[in-house]
Structure 1
């Protein structure tokens, strides 16, 4: 069997570095095979630079052979396979003829490298600049998401109790069920009666305060020990002069109080001596925040909560179908931007005052629009096996109310189906709003899973709205929302197929994937982070500074958020998370490398929020880098952005070094 080009390149590298006997271990990053040599003097660096496929050689902390993205992983895998070890594992010491044989036997077969399965469910977060309100939404999410299972479980129990109560009322069930129904109501009350306390504890954890103090803030909103209607135990509302009502302000008040408490507690921790900190900090924090919450937060938050609930009810009652359409239409974009988290306290406030939230059934119609759009895509794009397989996997859970797979794996990447799915959600919302008085007794699920939770058994109206959303999303997508590109015949791996069902432009046995056509045009590149923009020749790494890998720009970051430098698709993410590759519609292959020599940190300081195959726009958040951890490990935090296929580049617009904000325009790069 003939050697492939990766085996040949691996053989040439071994030939020029003294063979496997001279190697301690081999790893790789995005563009370089990193080799730890036993004896540097045995390496023929100048000769290795002349080997076809070798873009450059650098001998710094390790011996680095630059071969480029997409090639490096295959070459490194072949090198370690010849020796029988894994990447990063120590090479065995030569014994007898074992290593000599390994050094010369380069035709033992191609190393088996498993292709990573494309993941359908991708986190599509619209993260532009880190603003205060995005931070607030992140906190709200962190507080309530851990409670979602409790909401679902307690809500279903409440729904069962309501059904059994109705059956008793009509005489279908006997009085012997009363005790069981009471037990179900007690279980449900275990969550909702003391929900303020749970929220207070989670909020304290999220804001960095003592969790017990946060729980007390949630508990005192219930005014424990105050007996309603007894003048001797009434606390006066300082704004109205009336008796303060237990629960005033509810969840909104608890969130605000615990947020302020976190600052008060941190202040005392900082200024009170350690020897008495455990005594005076909780005492003073509780005293100050208790008075502040009872006399200021509860009345103010109570007014705000009542106004929100009253305002939403007025909108739904007056606007009817029109209000339902708008709410159903805009909910998916709110999810995409992370704005939907702000609705959780509003839902809970409505449940506390009305015993149901009329908002949730309307907003749940957005998922129904997604289901209808997916079915339309399945029919219209049946030749696209890759897409239809995604739909088959995502559709059942979408019907059950889990919409993320359909949103992020199907409709959003295609563009137009996302819009037509929103229209379907608006149609379903219009039906719910038009019928009116359809609410949910808890939050959590949507889709058909919400049916048992509909308030006062008005589930039939909810089902009508859900069917309307299915039909609306289907019709809008079938006739107006199917991109031509989605109807192209593809196999399960995304390869283009001919009319005969054969992979296009790929002869039998070919190892290389079909490359996307290069479209002449310009791509706008933006700053991947806030910091100091500089040319590559200023980077403290010879591979990048001499542009062995490609040309581009670098940023010394002052923030940990890293965004996409250009609009395109995430083509590859390193296992060590320190680098990722993108491809653009103009044919550019773009590498973003976070820090220098950070491959050695094995992914510890990095968080990648995207998945391979996911489409991103310039300025969209892709990753996070813990700058302090990188610096503590002795590494440079510079972020490199380079176009690696320079043969496709016609022109790179020059730029000025200086301070940039994340997402600022840096350069326009034009393809041939």
Structure 2
């Protein structure tokens, strides 16, 4: 889809992220593009949010940016990476974890860095598994529908071979879940993921499982828990007692194990020379961590998971009314912060230990309240003929109702319009209240599967009729409240109306322009069109002492990561455009300007080093984004004394950000220069 300026959505996303030269790396997850930028102040968030296909924009600390796309994220990512200007971006960055690891190297991202890292560790250990978990949950839903129709007894122990095979199709995902989690967690901590997977795999082999057989191993002692009806065995290994557990479906064990493995792995790499690391680091990792996990970490993880699950089970059993209301009211705040991952782990733990989970039922009330709010926004956008919001809401609603994914709704709509949350929370409360009242005789709403709460997985919940009433109530209440009371403030409604009117006017002008040209041609010979002058030189934006870019006191610029260029220690604060073209980026703080010439030369004028921290103090900006400028036109008047008094370097940095796309970019040698004097030669 082309914008009115002829750019595709992919090109607009790159441009409004500060241009390709500002992108250090790019990857994506299930619904979002994840950028690691060089200078986050160059982001034009308002313009990004208006790009067709973009559901939301989430700037983050550490020069990171998330752009919410939804189900089309893979194709959008491919379109961006196929752009000529992106050919040198992201090489060697194959995963989301790699990008975030680089971000962490730049310093903490929040007030409590370790807490941020902890939840990121949990999130990235599970996130890559969402697709396969969703696939398995739909297989379960299919079997549950057949069970409800009387085609097959889904819970029978003597099912025909065909249905035993169907069980294997979904059960394999959950049985080997510890190995998958260990793989992802290891990758997250820059440990060979196959080492982490192999350690968990050792505790799931037939040999390890056979240790539970007292007839084969007389030293194994088993006891029966009369209350739970479960068997607990202890084997004699190397003369030491080893508690034997079923580790299939466990998640806490691999998470704890990999955290310790990460420390050991890095320590071993420091001890052994690089030429023997390939052999000895995995060997000692396996030799140390498998026994440590079997004797200590495994039982500890089982105890921790059971303890947390038992605590929530107690709450669900003794105060079910409170529990049913608490879960849907908490989730709207947990999901945006990524704090819901521990609860997801508990759901899997409950299914593995109890055979069912009681958290997902109340969680469904939150999800459908979220989708109901999105449906309300869709209704209003259709009424108001708001094409952009209608597209956003349609994609988010489809992702929610069919996939159970709430992020497109949250980031694309709800977190952008603060009036949505109060209305959505009433829907959450209503759904939770239905489960609390109608589900009380049944001990709440339960499920034996890890299911994304969508329309397709309704059959896996029991009692299903209670669940249907609860999610329907949550959905309808949220939707109706949004429709009645709107999701925008009066100011936002007026702004949206003005934008629509402006868009209509722009479209009319575009349609009228060709007609005007045709009419003029019919009446008289058309005037010859003078082609734009090729950009072969980039001028000095300010007078002063020009220095080599390598001598600039900024590692990113000096490395050439933002293209070849020069630095100029300014003699005065008048900064002008170094080329003729269009303003692509105008930082709100006034410290940086991106200009693109008609023949595709992209330059960045960066005033001072770290001056973004001045928040515009001392900068009087004279241009705006999309404005046409000629070489020598004023960009900004800058108070150099203000910069110096704040302790920052005043050097003006000039780079050609798309150096890689040009035949040659040759900066001139260091010298005293005057404003408008050529300082960089360019060849196409």
Same-fold call, TM cutoff 0.5: yes
Partner of 1:618 in structure 2?
none
Q: Does 1:154 align with 2:157?
A: no
Shift of 1:214: 0.7
2:219 to 232, 237, 244: 232
1:427-484 deviation line (CA, Å, top 9, x unaligned) = 2133234414323333352231321332xx5322221111111122134434555332
Q: Check the 8 A contact 1:376/1:478 in 2, yes or no.
A: yes
Tell me which residue corresponds to 2:670: none
2:429 to 422, 426, 431: 426
- Counterpart in the other structure of 1:482: 487
Deviations 1:517-567 (A, max 9, x none): xxxxxxxxxxxxxx99xxxxxx954689835279xxxxxxxxxxxxxxxxx
The change in CA–CA distance for 1:380 and 1:372 in structure 2 (over 3 A counts) is same
Query: For 1:250, what is the secondary structure of its paired residue?
Result: coil
Aligned residue number for residue 548 of structure 1:
575
The equivalences for 1:1-16 within 5 A come to: none
Report the RMSD for the aligned CA atoms in angstroms.
5.0
Q: Name which of 384, 394, 403 aligns with 2:396.
A: 394
With over 3 angstroms needed to count, the CA separation of the structure-2 counterparts of 1:549 and 1:449, relative to structure 1, is: farther
Q: Distance in 1 between matches of 2:306 and 2:480?
A: 39
Determine helix, strand or coil for the equivalent of 1:235.
strand
1:383: which partner in 2? 384
Query: What is the match of residue 53 of structure 2?
Result: 119
Say if 2:242 and 2:294, in contact at 8 Å, map to a contact too. no
Aligned to 1:135: 117
> CA 1:426/1:264 → structure 2, altered by over 3 Å: closer, same or farther?
same
- Output one character per residue of 1:171-199: Cα deviation in whole Å (capped at 9) or x when no partner: 99999972211111122222222221222
Are the equivalent residues in 2 in contact too, given 1:328–1:427 (CA < 8 A)?
no
1:657 to 624, 646, 664: 646
TM-score normalised to the size of structure 2? 0.56
Give the Cα separation in 1 of the matches to 2:337 and 2:267: 34
Q: How does 1:395-410 map to 2 (within 5 A)?
A: 395-400=397-402, 401-410=404-413
Structure 1 window deviating more from structure 2 (407-416 vs 375-384): it is 375-384
Question: Per the alignment, in what secondary structure is the counterpart of residue 216 of structure 1?
Answer: helix
How many angstroms apart in 1 are the aligned matches of 2:568 and 2:186?
Answer: 44
Change (3 A) 1:293 1:367: same
* Cα offset, 1:651, TM superposition: 13
* TM-score, with length taken from structure 1: 0.57
Distance 1:428 1:591 in 2: 50
Unaligned runs of 5+ in 2: 6-14, 22-41, 63-108, 221-233, 514-553, 556-565, 595-599, 625-635, 649-684
> Within the alignment, does 1:438 sit opposite 2:425 as a pair?
no
What is the match of residue 216 of structure 1? 198
Quick check: 2:191–2:262 contact (8 Å CA) kept in 1? yes
Task: Give the Cα–Cα distance (whole angstroms) in 1 for the partners of residues 190 and 176 of structure 2.
Answer: 22
Mean CA deviation greater in 130-139 or 472-481: 472-481
3-state SS of the aligned residue for 1:124?
Answer: strand
Q: Does 1:415 align with 2:418?
A: yes
* Contact 2:351–2:450 (CA under 8 A) maintained in structure 1: no
- CA shift in 2, pair 1:165/1:236, >3 Å: farther
Q: CA deviation at 1:388?
A: 3.8
Q: Deviations over 1:33-56 (max 9, x none)?
A: x9xxxxxxxxxxxxxxxxxxxxxx
Q: Does 1:199 align with 2:181?
A: yes
TM-superposition CA deviations, 1:93-123 (whole Å, max 9, x none): xxxxxxxxxxxxxxxxxxxxxx984333225
Does the 8 Å contact 2:264/2:285 carry over to 1? Answer: yes
Offset at 1:261? 0.9
Instruction: Give the aligned length.
Output: 456
Residue 646 of structure 1, CA deviation:
5.6
User: 1:128-171, CA deviations, whole angstroms, 9 ceiling, x for partnerless residues?
Assistant: 83412222222222222222222122222233344545666889
The 1:334–1:549 alpha-carbon spacing in structure 2 relative to 1, beyond 3 Å, is farther
For 2:633, the equivalent position in structure 1 comes to none
Question: Residues 174 and 139 of structure 1: is their aligned pair in 2 closer, same or farther, counting only changes over 3 Å?
Answer: closer
Say if 1:384 and 1:488, in contact at 8 Å, map to a contact too: no
SS of residue matched to 1:339: coil
* TM alignment of 1:46-65, pairs within 5 A: none
SS in 2 for 1:364: helix
Aligned to 2:478: 473
